[in-house]
Amino acid sequence: MLDSLMLKKKPEEQQKKSGKEDIPSVRQKVLVTGGAGFIGSNLVKRLVADGYEVVVLDNLSTGVYQRLPKQAKFVKGDIEDDDTYRVIEGCTHVFHLAAKTDARENDDSVYRVNYLGSKKVFEAAKAVGAKVIFTSSAAVYGSAPVPHKETAECAPITQYGKSKLKAEKLLNTESSLVVRLFNVYGPEGNSVINKYCKLIPNYKDIIVYGTGMQTRDYVYVDDVINALMLGMELNGVYNIGTGLETKVVNAIDMISNVTMAKPTVKFDKPKQEIQRSKADITKIRNYWHPVVDLQKGIELTLRSYGWKPLPV
Ligand SMILES: NC(=O)c1ccc[n+]([C@@H]2O[C@H](COP(=O)([O-])OP(=O)(O)OC[C@H]3O[C@@H](n4cnc5c(N)ncnc54)[C@H](O)[C@@H]3O)[C@@H](O)[C@H]2O)c1
């Protein structure tokens, strides 16, 4: 199903109307805010490969310019700054990823960037008639019971989760796509899987906050990019996770088993965080499903840090 949706979406093909094949096709232009970030840069590479004209708007607060392919146009700017919105001119789609992404941060800037900044992005998109694809988060569910279903009563416990939920509500989801991403990991990511994949093969001590029995739904970045690409056609609010929950201690065991390195695990007092996270992916299943399981995703992430399996 995903493949059939994706195949229909090449921008050159979308421009061609029947009987007008002799008219040169114009590449569809899209804006990616936060395009120099972990997920954003992977999305930009995919959009470029699929033939889109891509403009990236990023203030490089956590993003890295060198991650971007040279075919993408980069504009250094802040989504809070009205002057930056000239870049949106001519865009048919706006992938809005720019955000303060540390779910544990609690200061005003989280609300300012993730809610007020998003509001500006959405207004600018509306003014040029561009469709919005917005990366929301599993953090909107907070302490709601698992598995998290899109229709659940959301109970975010962090500023991050609250600001994402408030931003979601600004959108008409009949004409935009909101993806509630669970824990995304993969090369260049900043998830706990990434941290442990860097430390464990080097026999470095690792710190677990809380008991380690808390669960997360870890989803590989390539799967997330496939889901974001659905935004070219799909509208609505969808969870993007695997539908599986993994205890932090079990994720550590998996990395340890793959690398055959036994880490020293130190436990520290818990941070403000939820105990269980697990997506219900029934709603998105008709269009998308994850293809990289945690075992495979861990191996790919380890390899991105230079780890190689021992020859057998
Ligand atoms: N990584 C995850 O596990 C995860 C989970 C749920 C939701 N999300 C969402 O996905 C999106 C991308 O996350 P990521 O993991 O790639 O994070 P990231 O920090 O790598 O990327 C965020 C990007 O936004 C840019 N940015 C931040 N504030 C900005 C501003 N005011 N103006 C312009 N650019 C700004 C940063 O420089 C960075 O390049 C975010 O919206 C995040 O909330 C991520």
Asked whether 183 and 224 are in contact (CB, 8 A), the reply is no
CB-ligand 1 contact for 233 (6 Å cutoff): no
pLDDT tens-place string over residues 198-218: 999 998 999 999 999 999 999
What pLDDT does residue 311 have? Answer: 81
311 in a structural domain: no
194 in a structural domain: no
Average pLDDT of the chain to the nearest whole number = 92
141 in a structural domain: yes
What does the angle CA 223 – CA 49 – CA 241 come to, to the nearest 5 degrees?
Answer: 10
Question: Which residue's alpha carbon is nearest to atom 18 within ligand 1?
Answer: 37
Question: Which residue's alpha carbon is nearest to atom 40 within ligand 1?
Answer: 97
Q: Provide the pLDDT confidence category of residue 26 given band limits of 50, 70 and 90.
A: confident
What pLDDT does residue 10 have? Answer: 53
What pLDDT does residue 4 have? Answer: 34
- Which 8-state DSSP code applies to residue 310? P
155 in a structural domain: yes
304 in a structural domain: no
CB-ligand 1 contact for 98 (6 Å cutoff): yes
Number of domains comprising the chain: 1
206 alpha carbon to ligand 1 midpoint, in Å?
A: 25
Q: Is residue 22 over pLDDT 60? A: no
CB-ligand 1 contact for 217 (6 Å cutoff): no
Average pLDDT over residues 159-188: 97
122 in a structural domain: yes
Q: Provide the pLDDT confidence category of residue 18 given band limits of 50, 70 and 90.
A: very low
Q: Which atom of ligand 1 is nearest to the CA of 79?
A: 32
pLDDT tens-place string over residues 259-299: 999 999 999 998 878 899 999 999 999 999 999 999 999 99
CB-ligand 1 contact for 183 (6 Å cutoff): yes
Residue numbers of the domain that contains 40: 2-13+28-185+219-241+275-291
111 in a structural domain: yes
160 assigned to active site: yes
Q: Which of 39, 55, 78, 228 to mutate to test the pocket of ligand 1 (most atoms within 8 A of CB)?
A: 39
Q: Residue 89, CB half-sphere, CA atoms under 13 Å: how many?
A: 4
What does the angle CA 194 – CA 212 – CA 291 come to, to the nearest 5 degrees?
Answer: 45
Amino acid in the structure at residue 31 = L
Task: Indicate which residue of 85, 141, 160, 220 is catalytic.
Answer: 160
Asked whether 177 and 290 are in contact (CB, 8 A), the reply is no
CB-ligand 1 contact for 191 (6 Å cutoff): yes
Kind of pairing between the strands at 183-185 and 218-220: parallel
> pTM of the predicted model, to two decimals?
0.93
Q: Provide the pLDDT confidence category of residue 5 given band limits of 50, 70 and 90.
A: very low
Asked whether 217 and 247 are in contact (CB, 8 A), the reply is no
100 in a structural domain: yes
Average pLDDT over residues 119-142: 98
Q: Which of 42, 97, 190 to mutate to test the pocket of ligand 1 (most atoms within 8 A of CB)?
A: 97
Q: How far is CA 265 from CA 102, 261, 262, 301, in A?
A: 23, 12, 9, 20
Average pLDDT over residues 225-242: 98
Asked whether 229 and 49 are in contact (CB, 8 A), the reply is no
- Domain containing 112 — which CATH number? 3.40.50.720
Q: How far is CA 211 from CA 103, 182, 197, in A?
A: 19, 21, 20
Amino acid in the structure at residue 195 = K
Q: Provide the pLDDT confidence category of residue 11 given band limits of 50, 70 and 90.
A: low
Min mean pLDDT across 96-110, 232-246, 255-269 is at: 96-110
Q: Tokens representing 308?
A: 């190689």
106: how many CB neighbours lie within 10 A of its CB?
13
Q: Provide the pLDDT confidence category of residue 106 given band limits of 50, 70 and 90.
A: confident
Q: Is residue 15 over pLDDT 50? A: no
Residue 282: which residues within 8 A CB-CB, separation 6 or more?
149
Q: Is residue 113 over pLDDT 90? A: yes
